Structure 1
Amino acid sequence: MTLYLSRLRLSRHPQARALDQLLNPEDPGQRLDAHHRLLWAAFSDGPDRRRDFLWRAEEAGAFLTLSSRPPVAGDLFDAPQVRDFAPVLTVGDRLSFALRANATRDRKGQGRVDVVMDALHGLPKAERAVARMGLAQQAGAEWLSRHGEAGGFHLIGVNVNDYSVMALPGHRGVRRGQPQFGILDMTGMLEVTDPAAFVARLAQGFGRARAFGCGLMLIRRAG
């Protein structure tokens, strides 16, 4: 399996910067939707192309992608910085990681549910704000640990640095079935137990909402 890790940055050409409010709007939901469409421009080479890449927003106007083919150069981005992603791993290697993920699980009769929303649902509304990050830490750690069982790694430790709920444009307020999802920002350390399975999981991504900037795990050797 050949993979490419790429850094993309919005073009700083004046013609592209004139579109900044459309390509990089201030509203978080609108920005996520715009970036979702924008990244397709770097990888979609035809109407029948299926998504075969992961992406993550970094600082304003900059993105990291993991893909099975290099991004296509275009007018919206500066020339992409592309390198092969082929980590040489052995059993027992320890890696630090950063992961932005939409963590879900199956709940009978409800389908897929966000693990943090599900944990909060059992509390009185007056207690949810105070308990939010503690439950996010617990639910996020349990969810990622379960992924490790089949994903070729053992979770040593994880910190949930942020949990937010994102609603896409045109869908505001309480409404059954509205497209919104929770996003966990996590950092931590893991130990590789099956290198091939772990690299395959990295390529596949973690959790859902991968078309919207979730699921790409960044790794480096632990110091």
Structure 2
Amino acid sequence: MNDSSRATITPGRFVASHSVLTLDARHPYVAKSLVDAQDMHRTVMSGFQGWGVAEGSRDARAQMGVLSTWTLDLKEAALVLVVQSRVPADWGHVPRAALRDEPYLITVDRTFRVGDAVVFRTVVNPTYNKPQDGPDGRMVRGKRVAHTKPDGVRKWLRRHFGDGREPGRVGVTTDPDDVAVHMLPPVSSPSPHKRLRIARAELRGSLTVTNPGAFVTALSDGIGHARAYSCGLLLTR
């Protein structure tokens, strides 16, 4: 793409609210969320009460653009939770004893253009549909299964982030071989969600924006599956 072609593509502006919470992993309020993915989801969503979304609405998270990711420092017993949303969060309900520091809230306002180089980090649920035999003997789209090894995750990465030559689904391209892939322990939920088990992988690297509109949509809406369970938030700098 030459400079004149780039100039005709409208830049994409991304605006969101970010909350950063540093929590005591030993506190019961926090410990429950670490062993139950459904409880972690409730903890995240509890910061968005009163925004006019119907109680129990299945798409409440999507309506408010709530995405999250977290990291755990076992040595320091600290859980760092990052929450993104279209509306400001209120963390006043979190027990004071569970907080290591006051929640840190910032407004992100950034414009992206074609050719921008971006450093990124994301935790994703890398899945694919495993083909199976259909009634007529033809292969059809089958059950969604998770990639559990780095090579498989890089296949997922190529579909979404491109391969360094062709762009991916989210309006960017990168060299998959230059992206660090770290397999994370799966998260799950006990009864009544016994079948909930989510494979996770952390990706760190750099990318080049090819379609600002598609990239901003990915930043706002998240990427991949399990976005209600702290997967799919794309953090950039």
Matched AA of 2:236: I
Give the unaligned 5+ runs of structure 2.
1-13, 73-77, 133-141, 162-167
Superposed CA deviations along residues 69-103 of structure 1, whole A, max 9, x for unmatched, are 11124231665322222222221121121111111
The equivalent residue for 1:214 is 231
Superposed CA deviations along residues 105-155 of structure 1, whole A, max 9, x for unmatched, are 223353321123xxxxxxxxxxxxxxxxxxx22211221221132211002
Deviation of residue 187 (structure 1)?
1.0
Report matched runs for 1:94-109 at 5 Å. Answer: 94-109=117-132
Superposed CA deviations along residues 181-223 of structure 1, whole A, max 9, x for unmatched, are 2111121111111122111111111111111111111111xxx
Deviation of residue 26 (structure 1)?
7.4
CA–CA separation in structure 2 for the residues paired with 1:96 and 1:81: 22
The equivalent residue for 1:47 is 55
The equivalent residue for 2:201 is 184
- Number of aligned residue pairs: give it: 189
Q: Which has the higher helix share?
A: 1
CA–CA separation in structure 1 for the residues paired with 2:55 and 2:235: 30
Matched AA of 1:76: V
The equivalent residue for 1:154 is 173
The equivalent residue for 1:6 is 19
SS at 1:208 equivalent: coil
Deviation of residue 48 (structure 1)?
4.8
CA–CA separation in structure 2 for the residues paired with 1:28 and 1:70: 24
TM value normalised by structure 2: 0.69
Q: Does 1:24 align with 2:30?
A: yes
Change (3 A) 1:171 1:138: farther
CA–CA separation in structure 2 for the residues paired with 1:179 and 1:112: 13
CA–CA separation in structure 1 for the residues paired with 2:88 and 2:32: 29
TM value normalised by structure 1: 0.73
Q: 2:154 aligns with which of 127, 141, 150?
A: 141
Give the unaligned 5+ runs of structure 1.
117-135
Deviation of residue 27 (structure 1)?
8.8
Matched AA of 1:147: H
CA–CA separation in structure 1 for the residues paired with 2:184 and 2:27: 27
CA–CA separation in structure 1 for the residues paired with 2:118 and 2:15: 21
The equivalent residue for 2:189 is 168
Quote the RMSD (CA, aligned, Å): 2.8
Name whichever of 156-165 and 49-58 sits farther off.
156-165
Report matched runs for 1:60-139 at 5 Å. Answer: 60-76=78-94, 80-109=103-132, 110-116=142-148, 136-139=149-152
